[in-house]
Structure 1
Amino acid sequence: MSFGKTTPILRIFDEAKAKEFYIEFLGFTVDWEHRFAEGMPLYMQISKDGCVLHLSEHHGDCSPGAALRIETDELEAFHQQLNAAGYGFAKPNIEAMPWGSQDMTLADPFGNRLIFTNAIST
């Protein structure tokens, strides 16, 4: 038995705020966008290197308040990049965790938490 890659779906409520946070601030790229018709909720895929996320305005897809752990081998550099960006709604810090890793937690505008960690799984 084999399982494939996991792609989390995060609930969003405002396309402009989502793009400001995920694209402009965090540096993700929009891979594709989908709407069933004009004026309908947005569903889109974004990515940054090997991290792929789906963002959805559809109320039935998921609930706000999710937490994700995203592994990175360049946590310090990413931390510096984010703080230099001048985003007015977040000033992330790196925390030393009791289990030996370092984590940087950011909340998106919709209550989802992204925990960037240097704890790399093998």
Structure 2
Amino acid sequence: MITPIFRIFDVEKAHLFYVDYLGFQLDWEHQYAENMPFYFQLSFRDMTLHLSEHHGDCSPGSAIRINIRGLKDYHASLSQKEYAYANPNIVKAPWGTIELTVVDPFSNRITFYEEIHEQA
């Protein structure tokens, strides 16, 4: 299993985006000592994601793709939330997927996608 790491700069903004808005679950958090950076593990369905305030772990502006079933239902649930900083739409990609891209407060990009099977 591969676990991507995204760089974050604000724990509260990360929590609002990933947990409250996107519906990720906070599995655990770690901080070596007070006034030290945080490191988190989040999960969403069958995948995990790490968020790090540590400057050497990764660079902001990364991107991942998450294959999920029920993308239209997931989009509908996001649309009902009152998150002021995002209002993503589903797009149909020429390679046979529908996709929903969100950008977190730290310029990291997540594209949720689902393969579509069109009838001939």
Q: Which runs of 4+ in 1 moved over 2 A?
A: none
1:111 corresponds to = 107
The alpha carbon displacement at 1:119 in A equals: 3.0
Q: Distance in 2 between matches of 1:104 and 1:16?
A: 24
Give the alignment's TM-score, normalised by structure 2: 0.94
1:16 corresponds to = 12
The alpha carbon displacement at 1:100 in A equals: 1.2
Give the alignment's TM-score, normalised by structure 1: 0.93
2:31 corresponds to = 35
Consecutive unaligned residues in structure 2, runs of 5 or more: none
The alpha carbon displacement at 1:55 in A equals: 0.2
1:6 corresponds to = 2
Q: Distance in 2 between matches of 1:69 and 1:104?
A: 10
Pick from 88, 96, 117 the counterpart of residue 84 of structure 2.
88
In structure 2, give the amino acid aligned to 1:107.
V
Q: Distance in 1 between matches of 2:89 and 2:83?
A: 14
Aligned-residue sequence identity (percent) comes to: 52
In structure 1, give the amino acid aligned to 2:8.
I
Pick from 65, 70, 74 the counterpart of residue 69 of structure 1.
65
In structure 1, give the amino acid aligned to 2:17.
F
Q: Write out per-residue CA displacement over residues 72-119 of structure 1, whole angstroms, 9 at most, x where no aligned residue.
A: 011000000001011110001000001111000000000000000003
